[in-house]
Copies of this chain bind each other. A is one copy, B any other.
């Protein structure tokens, strides 16, 4: 196996051989993030990323096995999933709308990359699982959790199905994103209203 700790935990685990250069990882992620945001996932070749980062091809593939893994890491580092703040409690319908509006607001910057990563996941099961575990599942969990709480608080009728409704919410999000349709505050509210009823 490899060492590859690279100060991930702070305690470098005393592996033999030359240690990984954390600066190389940083440069790759920063460059990938910038180039993909600026020019788009499919327009930016690996050769451009390593050239701008000033790093060899093999150094990239020592760390990530595909372009998609690198880009996921790059965006993950930046923000992407740190939307997972605790949500305001009193009004669950409003909390859901706010949560969605927050995600949708980030789509201006990250939406195109997100679409590319979802696409990449369809051709690469390993990446699909990684993407699901790191990006999809946590967000789904937040909504499911919120809906369970809303149900406990009596704001959502007991007959409703939080897991299904969470699939409705994220499904509508994905469906509109992947079909190139708008997603804004209005849609956040509309989705929340659709879940909680009129």
Contact = CB atoms under 8 A, between A and B. Distances in A.
Contacts of A174: 171, 174-175, 178
A25 to B, nearest CB: 27
Contact of A160 (B120, B125, B172, B198): B198
Nearest to A163: B190
B194 A164 contact: yes
Given A123-B116, A123-B119, A161 B190 contact: yes
B160 A164 contact: no
Nearest to A190: B164
Interface residues of A, number: 38
B136 A179 contact: yes
A99 interface: no
A178 B118 contact: yes
B164 A122 contact: no
A104 to B, nearest CB: 14
A54 interface: no
Given A115-B122, A157-B198, A168-B194, 7 more contacts: A132-B180, A161-B193, A161-B194, A164-B190, A165-B194, A171-B172, A174-B174
